[in-house]
A and B are shown apart, each in its own frame.
Chain A
């Protein structure tokens, strides 16, 4: 008999309640139960960072988090940053301007990692960007244009904030 637990949390500001089997990963809950398929699963063992979401203000790997652990949490996924191409977040705009993506599979995790980094350190050096984004792997870009994107996003966010 499969035991499910009723779990409540917010995703992108919306209250959600889901019946979740204990072993089900948060990545699968988001993708399958809530149909938020912008969160991608690249390795299922916590190395590649494609499944990165923001939970209570911190980046977590949703493939290493059980859905039931989200009880009471505030979760932010890529879908929370912009709902159409017309209202992109500065980080998303910077990735577009600087060609910070190719196949796009790692991109939602990258964008969220960059956003979290810039919220903590609004003016990072290149070394701090490479360190701060080091938990995410991209196989297409060789990182050069992602680093440029994060720099450009930092500048844009600072000038917009100023």
Chain B
């Protein structure tokens, strides 16, 4: 109980964000705003071939360009750094080595071959164009199917097949369940490749101080401490001589949650040239060479009972992981999580799955908001809809018959996920109520009479959050994020500096974690300042990803603050001459319980703790600082859940899908700040809608990326996102400090499933069709329209 917030004033309030003013007046400092004395600028020469050997690199003409200082190739850095290697600890893993600069062979369009360092970026790019690379083409492997052919060329030397790893799972008795099934389905489902696309591209500035032998890297990353350790390991530098600063970051979404070869390369360029070096990624580079995400192909057999219960699943899960395993997550994570999450929040006890993490000549695939679950949820929610269609049942009714019941928590899924708590049925009821589901059905009926294609789609899902060592160890990664860390320092004036190991880039931690700390000390929010991003001034933490910060940094903040509070009590107990158990905090004062006139202000205690050592009790050290970590039990995470409904209209002639309404009921446990929660839901939904309708990274059969501008890769704009209605439920986590669950990724998880269901429902006006693929671009929708019409014609 001592770690619970006892007098919540700010906790749970819609507090507007304290970080906003500097962004609003244009004074926030992102990496490209950093200018160092004598700074040079780098541009990378990237492969335009998907798969080729490098015969030679000729920098002669580039070096002749006025203003070019150096051209550095893969051969030039041999021995100065290790290559990047993200190995899984699973048996059967085949390793891939990501070169910092490719030396002998390239494996995707956009892979770095050389770096040009020049007076400014314009000149660096001029130089880059003059670097002549002689490629000897190899046969490209540009799809899962091509990679798995018997005669496919191998992506990496010594591999037996083009899979980083193949894994299997079996639980229950799938064969028995299939024998007893009332009906079966055989579904083929595809989520295409898209990505997080933060508005700020990647970038970094490196500087090496020869005098202090310190390397400083300013980089746009979600995980500065992991970058620091990785640089030390790869470059062979002492870690305490490396400082990584992640300044303001203009969006991450997972895309900036790994170590990239560019970060190593720019560090090397600074060491080599003896001058600070800046590299700012351009948008084309970002689309080619920052990690991509999704790209799943699932084949799923379903056994169901006459009453709509899904009895068993047999799944084959293929993920196109691109050319290399990303650090530290590995190429095993995406398919592994899809396999583990595919049964969803349902009581499915018989499940058999195989997964294939396939290597191709494409940009490496990594974690993006939702990681694997958009595809897993797409599959299982499409399964629920197809069972409903097969049985002539309402899609909500099928879900109600399958979903985990309120009396079953904590529920261990067939794949071993420990779903601690949730509100699955309640959230479905609530979203139906807020959307007036019956009313929507009536409206759909009326619209169909007018020849309009209106459809209703739904999806429910869990979002595993705040998971720590047990979960990441299970995923077989080498860097196992458990805890995160917070340092709380009360200064002599009684104001508080909170220094966080995790990074804040839009999530509002500067407000929300400060709310938690301020409540704990009963001080005003403006007396708490939250800082992050600089490894020199923050305790070692793992970073911001996987909807973990509210749980882990929030919990660590409570713990560190409690330590400060306990010391204030120890001190006040001495000053007020009462036992510490008789003290309480109230509006910035320590007072005696039942005798509020006996009190001492925190600011006095703070001043004395630093400047009046003679007042301290004998056993108390001076100063008021505490660092704490929090590794939330049980280590497997706490589960947020949500239910969504979309109402869409499809124009069968153009294939355009318009979302008319979108409803969300979200349950992320106790909310610290509902305003921030809602902003996260909106943003996640918009990205999910992008993946459902617009966003696709398209490669041709030669491995050429065709979507290299925002005219080809379509981000949702103001006109594409409907008004979104949100309601909350608050089922506290039984495990975490304050009952907090994480959130942030969730909004992005369900829209592909929800919108595909809605489009399929809309097309029922024309005929029966199975919508099995996203994004639902006009071309794909037209295909489904034709298919629905031809089936109706055949019938």
Give A residues with C-beta under 8 Å from B: 2, 21, 23-24, 31, 35-45, 47-48, 50, 77-79, 81-85, 88, 92, 95-97, 99, 101-108, 111, 126, 129-131, 133-134, 136-147
Is the beta-carbon distance between B506 and A104 smaller than 8 angstroms?
yes
Interface residues of B in 650-678 (CB under 8 A from A): 675-676, 678
Is the beta-carbon distance between B686 and A137 smaller than 8 angstroms?
no
Name the residue of chain B whose CB is nearest to the CB of A91: B24
Is the beta-carbon distance between A102 and B506 smaller than 8 angstroms?
yes
Is the beta-carbon distance between B724 and A105 smaller than 8 angstroms?
no
Q: A104-B248, A142-B685 are in contact. Are A134 and B719 (CB under 8 A)?
A: yes
Chain B residues, CB < 8 A from A101: 20, 23-24
Q: Does B683 contact A (CB under 8 A)?
A: yes
Is the beta-carbon distance between A36 and B251 smaller than 8 angstroms?
no
Is the beta-carbon distance between B24 and A102 smaller than 8 angstroms?
no
Q: Does B90 contact A (CB under 8 A)?
A: no
Is the beta-carbon distance between A105 and B200 smaller than 8 angstroms?
yes
Is the beta-carbon distance between B24 and A111 smaller than 8 angstroms?
yes
Q: In terms of DSSP, what is the predominant structure of the interface of chain B?
A: loop
Q: Does B199 contact A (CB under 8 A)?
A: yes
Is the beta-carbon distance between B25 and A37 smaller than 8 angstroms?
no
Q: How far is the CB of A65 from chain B (nearest CB, A)?
A: 16
Is the beta-carbon distance between B721 and A37 smaller than 8 angstroms?
no
Give B residues with C-beta under 8 Å from A: 16-17, 20-30, 32-33, 35, 66, 122, 196-201, 248-253, 282-283, 505-508, 675-676, 678-679, 681-687, 709-711, 715, 717-719, 721, 723-724, 747
Name the residue of chain B whose CB is nearest to the CB of A23: B122
How long is the Cα–Cα vector from A16 to B95 in the complex, in angstroms? 56
Partner of A145, one of B22, B196, B682: B682
Known: A45-B710, A99-B676. 13 other contacts (CB 8 A): A38-B27, A48-B199, A83-B25, A99-B675, A101-B24, A103-B252, A103-B505, A104-B248, A104-B506, A105-B200, A130-B719, A142-B686, A142-B747
Is the beta-carbon distance between B679 and A37 smaller than 8 angstroms?
no
Is the beta-carbon distance between B198 and A79 smaller than 8 angstroms?
no
Q: By CB atoms of chain B within 10 A, which of A84, A101, A105, A147 has the most?
A: A105
Is the beta-carbon distance between B686 and A143 smaller than 8 angstroms?
yes
Is the beta-carbon distance between A48 and B710 smaller than 8 angstroms?
yes
How long is the Cα–Cα vector from A35 to B197 in the complex, in angstroms? 26
Is the beta-carbon distance between B721 and A142 smaller than 8 angstroms?
yes
How long is the Cα–Cα vector from A42 to B203 in the complex, in angstroms? 12
Q: How far is the CB of A131 from chain B (nearest CB, A)?
A: 7
Chain B residues, CB < 8 A from A131: 718-719
Instruction: Report the tally of A-B residue pairs with Cβ distances under 8 A.
Output: 172
How long is the Cα–Cα vector from A48 to B283 in the complex, in angstroms? 11
Chain A residues, CB < 8 A from B723: 126, 144
27 residue pairs A–B, Cβ–Cβ below 8 Å = A36-B26, A37-B33, A38-B26, A38-B27, A42-B199, A42-B200, A42-B250, A45-B709, A48-B715, A82-B24, A85-B21, A85-B22, A96-B21, A99-B675, A101-B20, A102-B251, A102-B508, A103-B199, A103-B248, A103-B252, A104-B506, A137-B715, A137-B717, A140-B683, A142-B681, A142-B683, A142-B721
Q: A106-B199, A134-B719 are in contact. Are A140 and B251 (CB under 8 A)?
A: yes
Chain A residues, CB < 8 A from B678: 99, 145
How long is the Cα–Cα vector from A129 to B717 in the complex, in angstroms? 12
Is the beta-carbon distance between B30 and A40 smaller than 8 angstroms?
yes
How long is the Cα–Cα vector from A83 to B22 in the complex, in angstroms? 10
Partner of B200, one of A31, A40, A44, A142: A40
How long is the Cα–Cα vector from A140 to B250 in the complex, in angstroms? 9
How long is the Cα–Cα vector from A2 to B676 in the complex, in angstroms? 49
Chain A residues, CB < 8 A from B28: 104
Chain A residues, CB < 8 A from B23: 101, 104, 107
Q: By CB atoms of chain A within 10 A, which of B25, B197, B683, B686 has the most?
A: B25
Leading 8 A-B pairs by shortest Cβ distance: A38-B26, A105-B250, A104-B23, A85-B21, A142-B682, A142-B686, A102-B506, A103-B506
Chain B residues, CB < 8 A from A43: 283, 709-710
Is the beta-carbon distance between A133 and B199 smaller than 8 angstroms?
no
How long is the Cα–Cα vector from A138 to B679 in the complex, in angstroms? 12
Q: How far is the CB of B44 from chain A (nearest CB, A)?
A: 16
Name the residue of chain A whose CB is nearest to the CB of B675: A99
Is the beta-carbon distance between B30 and A147 smaller than 8 angstroms?
no
Is the beta-carbon distance between A103 and B249 smaller than 8 angstroms?
yes
Chain A residues, CB < 8 A from B506: 102-104, 140
